[in-house]
């Protein structure tokens, strides 16, 4: 039941019981194993995913088999995408990084609720625009920073947002790190090593630790 869900979107509190029940009637739960694809870029957007367990990477499949990871999602987050309300296609691929459980809510039903509840619609718009602001920041990060700045950004993203700690075991591969920062895997590894040699971080396999947050933050800012 959506209404009792521990990982319910705060957004859904805006809905009245009827509306929430409508969503509840038009959803189903799915479990994915690590590495499976939930949404595939180019395919029809028929559902919206709400994560109740696990993590996934959202990435754009670009040119020459290169990907750009735009976000890592985890429990409690909702994934629709810009295909919602427009062409109803997925404009990114979502692949799990761990075993994952999601609720898939029917997109049409979801849109009906948006249509019927102005407050909800406004909250959705706010959510979309907040993502838009983040995308602007990402544009600057990716186009105006050199590799060390971009890797530093990614480390803080993992630390602040994904793992919420300054020491953590990453769920992403080195290739993923490269796909987050728009560089090659080799370059990403080299920068990690530079940071390690400079005593800014400690890296042991998948275990990361931020040692000198100040300097790392400075690298972020100056690019």
Partner DNA sequence: TTGATTCATTGATAAAAATCAATATATTTG
Partner DNA sequence: CAAATATATTGATTTTTATCAATGAATCAA
In the complex, which residues of this chain contact DNA (CB under 7 A)? 146-148, 173-175, 182-187, 189-190, 192-193, 203, 205-206
Q: Is 203 in the site for a copy of itself (CB under 8 A)?
A: no
| Residue 182 binds to a copy of itself (criterion: CB under 8 A) | yes
Which positions ≥6 away from 92 have C-beta within 8 Å? Answer: 39, 41, 58, 59, 60, 61, 70, 81
Please state, in angstroms and as integers, the Cα–Cα distance from residue 213 to each residue in 66, 74, 158, 219, 223, following that order. Answer: 31, 24, 13, 10, 15
- Taking a C-beta distance cutoff of 8 angstroms, is the pair 216, 210 a contact? yes
Contacted by 124, from a copy of itself, DNA, none: CB < 5 to 8 Å by type: a copy of itself
Spatial neighbors of 80 by CB under 8 A, at least 6 apart, are 45, 48, 49, 107, 110
Nearer residue to a copy of itself within complex by CB, 84 or 158: 84
Considering CB distances under 5 to 8 angstroms, the limit depending on partner class, which of a copy of itself, DNA, none binds residue 147? Answer: DNA
Interface positions with a copy of itself (CB under 8 A): 60, 62-64, 66, 68, 70, 82-87, 91-92, 111, 114-116, 118-119, 121-122, 124-126, 128-133, 135-136, 138-140, 142-145, 182, 221-223
């Amino acid at each position: 039941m959506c209404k009792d869900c521990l990982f319910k979107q705060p957004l859904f509190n805006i809905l009245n019981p009827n509306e929430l029940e409508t969503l509840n009637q038009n959803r189903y739960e799915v479990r994915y194993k690590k590495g499976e694809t939930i949404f595939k870029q180019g395919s029809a957007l028929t559902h919206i995913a709400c994560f109740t367990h696990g993590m996934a990477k959202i990435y754009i499949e670009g040119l020459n088999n290169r990907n750009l990871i735009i976000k890592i999602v985890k429990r409690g987050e909702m994934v629709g995408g810009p295909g919602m309300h427009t062409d109803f296609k997925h404009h990114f691929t979502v692949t799990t990084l761990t075993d994952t459980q999601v609720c898939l809510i029917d997109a049409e039903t979801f849109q009906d609720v948006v249509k019927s509840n102005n407050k909800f619609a406004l909250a959705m718009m706010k959510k979309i625009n907040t993502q838009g602001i983040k995308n602007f920041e990402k544009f600057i990060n990716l186009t105006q920073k050199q590799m060390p700045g971009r890797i530093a950004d990614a480390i803080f993203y993992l630390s602040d947002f994904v793992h919420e700690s300054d020491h953590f075991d990453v769920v992403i591969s080195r290739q993923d790190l490269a796909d987050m920062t728009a560089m090659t895997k080799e370059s990403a590894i080299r920068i990690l090593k530079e940071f390690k040699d400079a005593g800014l971080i400690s890296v042991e396999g998948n275990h990361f630790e931020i040692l000198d947050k100040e300097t790392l933050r400075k690298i972020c800012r100056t690019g």
